[in-house]
Amino acid sequence: MAGEIVDIGAECGPWRVGDRVVCETNGSVCGKCRMCRTGSPQHCPDLKVFGAHTDGFFAARCIASIETLHSIPTELDFVTASMTEPVAVAYAGVISRGHLELGEHVVVVGAGAIGIFAAQIARAAGAASVTLIGVDRDVPKAPLIASLGLGELVVSGRDNVVEAVKGQTRQLGADLVIDAAGVSAAMQTALDVVAVGGRIVKIGWGPNPFGYSLDPVVAKVVSIVGSRGHGWLDWERVLTLLSSRTIDVDSCISAKYEIGEWETAFRDMESGRNVKSVVLFHD
Ligand SMILES: [Zn+2]
């Protein structure tokens, strides 16, 4: 969410009415648990997310804690700044949790918004190669993906995914695989393409059981890491990346909708027609 401060509490300095801000998704946290005390309130067991567990984000106004606010650089408008949250999800996965190093080969499984942002971040962070793997319904996005400098989309079920990754990685496999899909097949793909000694960061999640052997985790001595949400620093870094246009989100904003059209906005993302929808509010 991106907007302007219209009212403020007594002890909320240095924020002022009129400041342009983005707001993290943490509607409320306990402030006392281990995660809250160690700088990761987004993992508080009592976390209530705006728009899901507590009011806000689907209204023209909401009440936010000052700890969740970030100043929008002057170069960014509200629409572009509103993409900070999904890009921060990708940033946390690739950088904060994936610890991508310069020259590593990266595979991103899942060509939705998070996958496309993750691939852009990996490219910007100096990956030797970035291979983005999608499915049939992602094919219409292939020209956009190519225009973002992310190469040719590899389509699971159509292309030989393992051979495609070998071709990109000098036959070694991927040092870092980002699972931005969450279906059980995506994890199997990740295990197929990860290099010996490589890492898999699982951002996507879903309720389906695996249904296959996890022996490759042992055989390839793979590290699997979960990544959920984003921290304060992830947001700050992403705002800098958006401001410098290092990450192109504007090309990924497929359409804008009024709040009365919210169902269409979500449906057009679920169908794969839109990479990202933006909903506009007028106070
Ligand atoms: Zn807590």
pLDDT tens-place string over residues 98-114: 999 999 999 999 999 99
Measure 31 CA to ligand 1 centroid, in angstroms.
5
Q: How far is the CA of 173 from the centre of ligand 1 (A)?
A: 39
How would you label 82-92 residue by residue, b for 16+ Cβ within 10 Å and e otherwise? Answer: bbbbbbbbbbb
What does the pLDDT look like over 144-166, one tens digit per residue? 999 999 999 999 999 999 999 99
Phi, psi of 105 (to 5 degrees): -90, 130
Closest CA to 68 of 117, 10, 29, 32: 29
User: For residue 61, how far is its CA from the centre of ligand 1 (angstroms)?
Assistant: 25
From ligand 1's centre to the CA of 37, what distance in Å? 7
Cα 42 to ligand 1 centre (Å): 8
pLDDT, tens only, 74-131: 999 999 999 999 999 999 999 999 999 999 999 999 999 999 999 999 999 999 999 9
Instruction: Give the pair of three-digit tokens for residue 20.
Output: 């342009």
For each of the domains in the chain, give its residue range(s) and CATH number, in order of start: 2-86+231-280 (3.90.180.10), 89-226 (3.40.50.720)
How far does the centroid of ligand 1 lie from the alpha carbon of residue 12, in Å? 21
Q: What are phi and psi of 85, to 5 degrees?
A: -60, -55
Strands 20-23 and 2-4: antiparallel
Peptide bond into 14 cis (omega under 30): yes
Q: Dihedral (C-alpha) 27, 31, 37, 38: value to the nearest 10 degrees?
A: -10
33 Cα to the center of ligand 1, angstroms: 4
Angle at 225 between CA 85 and CA 153, to 5 degrees: 65
What pLDDT digit, counting tens, does each position of 214-271 carry?
999 999 999 999 999 999 999 999 999 999 999 999 999 999 999 999 999 999 998 8
Distances (CA, A) of 126 to 102, 104, 146, 174, 202: 5, 8, 18, 14, 21
Using CA of residue 249, residue 250, residue 252, residue 257, what is the dihedral sign?
positive
Span from the CA of 39 to the centroid of ligand 1 (angstroms)? 10
Model pTM score: 0.96
Nearest-angstrom CA–CA distance, 88 and 117: 9
The pLDDT, as a whole number, for residue 260 is 92
Torsional sign, CA 124, 75, 112, 90: positive
Residue with tokens 């943490």: 26
Rounded to the nearest angstrom, the distance between the alpha carbon of 85 and the centre of ligand 1 is 20
- Residue 30 CA to ligand 1 centre (angstroms): 4
CB 67 within 8 A of CB 47: no
C-alpha of residue 236 to centroid of ligand 1, in Å: 21
Nearest alpha carbon to residue 127 among 78, 169, 76: 169
Rounded distance from Cα 43 to ligand 1 centre (Å): 7
229 CA to centre of ligand 1 in angstroms: 15
| 226, 147, 81, 29 alpha-carbon torsion, rounded to 10° | -10
Taking the alpha carbons of 24, 26, 27, 33 in that order, is the dihedral positive or negative?
negative
